[in-house]
Amino acid sequence: MYFINASLAYGFTGSNMYCYYNDTVQFVSSVPFTYNTYSQANFIDSLNGFVYAISSPFNQVFRTSDGGMTWIQLAVNTSRSYYLMESLNETVSYLYADSGYVYKTIDGGNSWNQIIRKDSVIDIHFLNEQRAYSVSYISNTDSKYSFSNDGGQSWTSSNLPTSFMAEHIKMFNDSVGYVDGKSTNMYSKLVILKTTNNGLMPIDITTFTKLLINPNPSIDGEYIIEIPLDMASLDDVLLSVYDAKGCLILKNNLTNHSNKTTLYLQGKAKGIYLIQLSDGSNRYFKYTGKLVKE
């Protein structure tokens, strides 16, 4: 089902379209696919939307402007298989195809142009016409995160945590988003990574644990941080502190640490700070906590 809002959604069984409205489901129409096929919907609002085949033949894409009562087949590249469609508005949409091909329309689907081909891509997402995000293969066990500021023409990449294979990416603005996937060394365990600074510090929200901090709040800005047992054996632990705006204000490499370390925030303004502990490569945050200075 593709939900427009809490009370309206569209779904497909083969080529048959159904509408869910106020807890009632009813048949709307049949999409004129050449063959009976599995399909996915992508609706912009209650009237305007697309449906596209995700099984053979792959090259069929249809558009409706009347809530699915009638459909118009669109001319798209017939040699590609499409697995996802994303619309920014009534005129601009993207079709994501096999082998990293991305097609774009700026006229509501009347014409489509290949804009990029990104090798080894797993998933891709456009936040707007300039800002794009993707996750890609590095190897059979590792993956990377990339973003573009020029519509996908050039990319800046960083590796995701080791032994993690990304599957999907979704950004909600220029800073905050999620990547989900599977651990490749823990029996395919689900892992969800969250970023609040454009992918620079992905936090595993499925496993991270809050730090033990004392005293907290602190009046003089001195805190005792307990080093978690599974990090105590690491040769290099990175401690980072951020202010309420997300700006890095302190970074220490704890190379000769015990099970505790002392953090000093003397001279810093009163308020709330975020502390994070990671391995020394600064790739994977596993522990986080909140500091309050009074």
Q: Mean pLDDT over residues 233-257, rounded?
A: 80
How many residues are present in the chain? 294
Environment class of 277 (CB within 10 Å of its CB; exposed 0-12, middle 13-18, buried 19+): buried
Cβ neighbors of 245 (< 8 A, separation 6 or more) are none
Q: How far apart are CA 180 and CA 189, in angstroms?
A: 11
Query: Rounded to an integer, what distance in angstroms lies between the CA atom of residue 284 and that of residue 206?
Result: 13
Q: Is the pLDDT of residue 161 over 90?
A: no
pTM: 0.65
CA–CA dist 15, 30 (Å, integer)? 6
Strand partners, 108: none
Q: What is the mean pLDDT of the chain?
A: 83
The span from the CA of 154 to the CA of 118, in Å, is 10
pLDDT for res 128:
93
pLDDT tens digits along 119-135:
788 888 899 999 999 99
Residues 247 and 241: their CA atoms lie apart, in Å, by 8
pLDDT in tens, 88-102: 988 999 988 878 889
Residues 6+ apart with CB under 8 A from 252: 238, 239
pLDDT digits (tens, 9 = 90+) for 31-42: 887 766 667 788
Map tokens 């009562």 to a residue: 69
